[in-house]
Amino acid sequence: MALTPLRIDFVSDVTCPWYAIGLRALEQVIVRLGDALPVALHLQPFELNPGMPRGGEPIAEYAARKHGASADALAARQALIRQRGAEVGFAFATRTHVYNTFDAHRLLHWAGLEGKALDLKRALLVAYHGRGENPALHDVLLRAAGEVGLDVERAREVLASVLLELGKPADALREYEAALTREPNRLRSTLGAAQAAERAGDAAKARAYNSKVAELTDAADAPRPEVVQARRAAGRG
């Protein structure tokens, strides 16, 4: 009789070094257990610092503010982190800041729908802890997505939709247009660009992108509601 896999929910952020160490150690244990105890590992999001700005906060200031750590205490803690990381095969680079991880978690959620949440999580942990990169930057997130075989332009669309939800249509429009520069006939990006342009008050671009949506969906039997709306806006409904 096959054993029922043990479910483990790993609740974590991207910027805490102990999560990087903990995940690496946990995965090593799972490998050692092998078939003796099958494990179903599920990642769950946790924003350690939801109010952190995208540009981040210097680690020394963050440690002093949040933990009351002096410079000497921080240096000792970082040395311990490097030691523990080495024990599980994780090499820590010099990290100067703590960053916001909201977009990283949104991308991780989408990666989970694509069956690659764990791969992306590993890549983001290495990007920040192993290379000192800022996981709030879309270029960093998109590079990590590409490294693990995710569709980079689809990832860009996910991040653009987040910007729309946050009331930043001009920023969202730039992301959608970047995707369209690479793949001009992407329907999802064209739809998103039309919506972003409309919310940004760029009527000319909104009309142009709505017309493009109409062209791309001429042969559609049962277009989605947002497509119907775009076609009507283009006078093709």
Q: Which residues contact 133 (CB under 8 A, 6 or more apart)?
A: 127, 140
Which of 122, 150, 178 lies at the terminal end of a domain, its last residue?
150
pLDDT digits (tens, 9 = 90+) for 74-122: 999 999 999 999 999 999 999 999 999 999 999 999 999 999 999 999 9
Distance CA 153, CA 191 (A): 14
Q: Are residues 97 and 116 in the same domain?
A: yes
Are the C-beta atoms of residues 232 and 202 closer than 8 Å to each other? Answer: no
Are the C-beta atoms of residues 223 and 231 closer than 8 Å to each other? Answer: yes
Q: Are residues 26 and 138 in the same domain?
A: yes
DSSP string of 40-100?
EEEEEE--S-TT--TT-EEHHHHHHHHH---HHHHHHHHHHHHHHHHHTT-------EE--
Nearest to 141 by CA among 115, 120, 160, 117: 120
Residue 49 belongs to domain spanning: 6-150
Radius of gyration of the chain, Cα coordinates, nearest whole angstrom: 22
DSSP 219: T
**Mean pLDDT on 158-173:** 95
Q: Are residues 146 and 85 in the same domain?
A: yes
pTM of the model: 0.90
**Structural domain count of the chain:** 2
CATH of residue 165: 1.25.40.10
